[in-house]
Structure 1
Amino acid sequence: MTTPLFRIGFLPLVDAALPILAREQGFAAREGIEIALVRDMTWATVRDRLLYGHTDAAHMIAPLAIATTLGRGRPPVALSVPFVLGLNGNAVTVSAALAEAIGLGTALGDPAALGSRLRDVALARVAAAKPLRFGVVHRYSSHNYMLRYWLAAVGIRPDRDVEIVVTSPPFAADALAAGEVDGICVGEPWNSIAVDRGVGRIALVTAQIWRRGVEKVLAMRSEMLAERRDEVHALLRALHAAAEHFVRLDAAEESAAILARPEYLGGRVDTVLRAITDRIRLAQGGDTLHVPDFMFQYREAANFPWRSQAAWLYSQMARWDDLPVTPHDAQAAQDVFRPDVYRAALAGSAATLPGASSKLEGAVSAPTAAGSTQGRLLLEGDHFFDGRAFDPDDIAGYLASLP
């Protein structure tokens, strides 16, 4: 009998860890499936391989799965997200010149205070007809939306007071070094690579903007999910086992060594290890700083695809594409995330399964017990830096309240 095979596309990022570890540590084999990994350099290529059947699933930026389903920028193709591969793990890294101009110290900046200083610089640069330029990894990425959310909240108008362009993660540090951009918002290890090369300094991590912001997901064509439901369940169980392994401190060095291999990230083991263990070096030659929950994984049902997370991403898509919020699109966006598949795959396992499929995002300020159908679920702080909360049942009202 042939072993079911999943070809999974990915970019060389630390948060591609779960499918890599599921393959390398035997979790996929234990579930009776095989994983073949396909490395790419841009998110557009990862998406296109998936759409045209060159891969069966993909490590993907969450908003791109929604944009693809809604037909933003191309004919629509229905994608499904039954598993979240991780929360946060990104940073805003700026050039040495901009770091000096906004007074970066030896610690991470406060988003509000740092944003105020950045606004002064941004407006001065606009007046001089030399606007600041930031690079993000894709138009439909959480990097883009997190950066824009922060800038707008501190009084900087994206696309007017600053320019935002696209640069692929593996080339982000090069773009910073060449002076093509003044800052980047990208995932690890590419911020740390910019720091270690001396071409950038980390100003903020995205966990400071939204404490539990959804980042990468496992995406697949909805028709494939329907055709291979039992095999997909096995894949999700393998990924969940890999997530549990990933957060073990005694496994960190081995995981970093695997991820750093040439066929995966192709980077330094110590750079990958820093990201895995929530340690960040802000400036070349500086000490490492422990940033709790920098790259959040496994705990608090972090891999559960909350429909409210999809709704927040849709709200930002409507906001920055300047499109009206419609009930049809809001429903379609939330339907991309599939908590029903997650629950079905992990029922009877040791996984914690939330009872609800949606929640108020940004409303938890202290450890809070939440309803679950399996296991005990305790949610910790998930706040936005500006203190707002997002109600997925009132997207239009939420958008109306934003600056």
Structure 2
Amino acid sequence: MTSTHQITAGFLPLLDSALLVVAKEKGFAAEQDIALTLVRERSWATIRDRLAVSHFDVAHILAPMPIACNLGLTAPAPRMIVPMALGLGGNAVTVSAGLWSDMAECGASPDLDAISSGLALRRVVDNRKGERLRFGVVHPYSGHNYELRYWLAASGIDPEEDVEIGILPPPDMADAMTSGLIDGYCAGEPWNTLGVLHSGAHLATVKAAIWKSSPEKVLGVNGRWADGHAEALAALLRALYKASLWCAAPGNQEELADLLARPAYVDRAAESLLPALTGLLQIGGHKTLSIRDFFVPNAKAATFPWKSHALWFYTQMVRWGQIRHTPDHEQIANDTYRPDIYRNALKALNIAMPAASSKVEGALKIETPVGSSGALTLGPDGFFDGGLFDPVDIESYIASQARI
């Protein structure tokens, strides 16, 4: 029997492709009358290009990339919308054993605290006296790039002058570090865990410590396809939301690791995927640490496409010289994320959703019940340096963000 909706989605072999994998493998897409085809790719540039030429209708994609596409920063690029996030967190900053040893001598905390690790790294940079450390990120328009830069700058390290930041595909990170090409990297899982297990690396800090409850991957949708397939898109969002509930259930973690481990998906041993799913991460030196909210697939409105997330990414594009700030550019970033489509698609599921489309990022210091269409808890969502981002006052925030 032919399904009503035929949807092709691109993805990279990362833990946070989980919602798409589960939607297909556990039947949530089929329940919505969707024939979901998943196509694995190696680079984010290829994901972008295949969306542009309509090989893909939707994709697992870096949260800032659709904004960059709509701003004309990367070509070829489709007009894109983001009607859903694919979870919160999931990244870490991983460093070589040698660099971690130097950081530990300079006071880095073994609990991956972003403040002490950042200050220790700054001391190491000062001690190197002109020998610049090299870090890898997966793409210029990635959460990895912006969170790494934010952490460095807030720790007193100039990301443009004091270190070098280069671009590498996630699967190449650990090998590049082992060979001495880089000293560390910021990437999604399982590449941090694999660096620890097979390359003697050590985690320096995690995304959940740099910016709590922060976005990472989203569902990027070709705008032309969305215009002509509103019903199919809504059905896909419902399937992905149900998949997020399944992924969030602790009793499903081992099965989820086994699903993602298959050759068609992440193609790595399940035991290297399970740590990030449980939050019990091997951080290096044969130590394991429980990290709260390391990867959040459903709780805390984890799938909601906050416009404040989009606008924070936009401010970082401005901060690091990728684009000039103008009212038109700000509006493009704001309009890329589409909570209206999310709400319309999921209202039939009777779930709790945020009443607002934006929030002050960093304002919630503890888990907080919020006004919504039902019971919903958000936060904490703070930046490690205590900073606040109010999307209502973009210009003041940009002006306050010197390079360091």
Q: TM-score range by the shorter chain?
A: over 0.9
Tell me which moved more, 172-181 or 1-10: 1-10
> What is aligned with 1:257?
258
- Is the 8 Å Cα contact of residues 212 and 379 (structure 2) preserved in structure 1? no
Shift of 1:226: 1.2
After superposition, the C-alpha distances for 1:27-67 in whole angstroms (9 at most, x for unaligned) are 00001001111111111011111111111110000111110
Q: Secondary structure at the match of 2:92?
A: strand
Shift of 1:339: 0.2
> What is aligned with 2:113?
110
> What is aligned with 1:225?
226
RMSD in angstroms over aligned alpha carbons? 1.4
Which stretches in structure 1 are left out of the alignment for 5+ residues? none
- Is the 8 Å Cα contact of residues 71 and 77 (structure 1) preserved in structure 2? no
- Is the 8 Å Cα contact of residues 23 and 243 (structure 2) preserved in structure 1? yes
- Is the 8 Å Cα contact of residues 49 and 77 (structure 2) preserved in structure 1? no
Alignment of 1:351-366 (within 5 A): 351-366=351-366
- Is the 8 Å Cα contact of residues 114 and 206 (structure 2) preserved in structure 1? no
Of 123, 127, 131, which aligns to 1:124?
127
Q: TM-score, normalised by structure 2?
A: 0.96
After superposition, the C-alpha distances for 1:343-402 in whole angstroms (9 at most, x for unaligned) are 010012132211111111111012323221x32122121000010110111112112222
> What is aligned with 1:396?
395
> What is aligned with 1:136?
137
What amino acid sits opposite 2:295 in the alignment? M
Alignment of 1:4-403 (within 5 A): 4-74=5-75, 77-103=78-104, 107-125=110-128, 127-128=129-130, 130-283=131-284, 286-321=286-321, 323-372=323-372, 374-402=373-401, 403=404
Q: Secondary structure at the match of 1:214?
A: coil
Shift of 1:213: 1.2
Q: Secondary structure at the match of 1:44?
A: helix
- Is the 8 Å Cα contact of residues 353 and 374 (structure 2) preserved in structure 1? yes
**Fraction of identical pairs, as percent:** 46
Which stretches in structure 2 are left out of the alignment for 5+ residues? none
What amino acid sits opposite 2:332 in the alignment? A
Shift of 1:123: 3.0
For 1:352 and 1:42, locate their aligned partners in 2 and report how far apart those are by CA, in whole Å. 35
Shift of 1:166: 0.5
What amino acid sits opposite 1:321 in the alignment? G
Shift of 1:297: 1.8
For residues 365 and 107 of structure 1, do their structure 2 counterparts lie closer, same or farther at Cα, with a shift above 3 Å needed?
A: same
- Is the 8 Å Cα contact of residues 21 and 242 (structure 1) preserved in structure 2? yes
For 2:221 and 2:122, locate their aligned partners in 1 and report how far apart those are by CA, in whole Å. 40
Shift of 1:159: 1.6
Q: Secondary structure at the match of 1:60?
A: strand
Count, aligned residues: 399
For 2:111 and 2:283, locate their aligned partners in 1 and report how far apart those are by CA, in whole Å. 8
Shift of 1:322: 5.3
Tell me which moved more, 1-10 or 223-232: 1-10
For residues 319 and 262 of structure 1, do their structure 2 counterparts lie closer, same or farther at Cα, with a shift above 3 Å needed?
A: same
For 1:75 and 1:391, locate their aligned partners in 2 and report how far apart those are by CA, in whole Å. 32
Q: TM-score, normalised by structure 1?
A: 0.96
Q: Secondary structure at the match of 1:292?
A: coil
For 1:381 and 1:296, locate their aligned partners in 2 and report how far apart those are by CA, in whole Å. 13
Tell me which moved more, 275-284 or 55-64: 275-284
- Is the 8 Å Cα contact of residues 62 and 218 (structure 2) preserved in structure 1? yes
For 1:238 and 1:182, locate their aligned partners in 2 and report how far apart those are by CA, in whole Å. 40
For residues 12 and 76 of structure 1, do their structure 2 counterparts lie closer, same or farther at Cα, with a shift above 3 Å needed?
A: closer
Shift of 1:205: 0.5
What amino acid sits opposite 1:112 in the alignment? I
Q: Secondary structure at the match of 2:213?
A: coil
